[in-house]
Each structure stands twice: as C-alpha cells, then as structure tokens.
Structure 1
C-alpha cells in the first residue's frame, strides 16, 4: 500500500536535504525512496517562485465566513432598498 504524504511533510523533507542533510539518511529516516525525494525536490524548486507572487495567500475558513456574512448583509440591504422602491427597479 502506498503512503500518502501531505504537502507540509514533503516540504520539510525536501528542505532537510536542501539545507545540507544527507539525502540517503533523510530517505532512510522517513522510509522514502531517493528517486521520490528528487522528484519532490524538483517540484519544490520549480514552484518556489510562486511564494513571492501576489494574491497567493491562502484564504482561511474564518476569512471566508467573514466575507460570506458581509455579502449576506449586502444582499439584505439591496433587497430592502428594492422593496422600499416598490420593486420597480428605479
């Protein structure tokens, strides 16, 4: 059965090697084939520049919920305005 690695663990393992750790020892410690380590390292290095791109900050659940509440209030306000105007759209 294949082991599923989460992205954070992959990054930590790759960084161990990039910071001078012995890849053979790192792979042995984590039960990982060296070929897979090098594949991850390649992916890591190919995508490292995205850290510095704008608007790449992940949105957390609390931010999504806050935006959801704000939008619901806005829809409610607009609905009240339409009802007050008689729904004519003018």
Structure 2
C-alpha cells in the first residue's frame, strides 16, 4: 500500500515546527506526524535549497521561460528548413 501523500503546506508546517520548537527533537516531530526521519530531512533539504536559490536572486521561472523561448526558436527554424526541403524534393 503506498504511503500518504503530503501537501506542500503540510511539509512546510512540519519543517517550520522544527524551527519554532527547538526543545522537541526531529524524531519526536516525525513520530507525531507519522513520517520517517529521512523523509523529514529530504523535505528540509528541499526547503533550504529553495531558500538559498531565492537569496541568490535566481528565478527558476525566468530561466524556464528563456529556455522555452530558445526551444521554440529552434523548432521554428527546423520547421522552416523542413518546408524548404520538401519544396526542393
């Protein structure tokens, strides 16, 4: 049977609990929420990585938009070349 699916809000709440309650151990937090300690640290690492990227000023959405525009341009060029090749043959 697959494990429970946690929402991002629930992940955030559990991670923040560890910061807001320094007297409680990670093991206790995990036990209270029914998650494995390894899962908690995976979520925490993802959370901290996102924060680090935010502080660096990197906007992943802008990077994806730029990559998308570049790929569309390549597809456009290939489409034009394909049309020309079809007309030649």
Which residue, 12, 26, 31 being the options, matches 2:29? 26
| Root mean square deviation, CA, Å | 2.3
Alignment correspondent of 1:13: 14
1:20-79 CA deviation, whole Å, 9 max, x = no partner?
Answer: 23111110010000000001000001102438x6x9xxxxxxxxxxxxxxxxxxxxxxxx
Partners of 2:12 and 2:25 lie apart in 1 by 16
1:8-27 CA deviation, whole Å, 9 max, x = no partner?
Answer: 00001011112223111110
Runs ≥4 residues deviating over 6 A: none
Alignment correspondent of 1:37: 40
Number of residue pairs matched?
56
Q: TM-score, normalised by structure 2?
A: 0.53
SS in structure 2 at match of 1:32: coil
Structure 1 unmatched ranges of 5 or more: 56-90
More helix as a share of residues: 2
Structure 2 unmatched ranges of 5 or more: 60-89
Q: TM-score, normalised by structure 1?
A: 0.52
SS in structure 1 at match of 2:5: coil
Residue range with higher mean Cα deviation, 34-43 or 13-22: 13-22
Alignment correspondent of 2:70: none
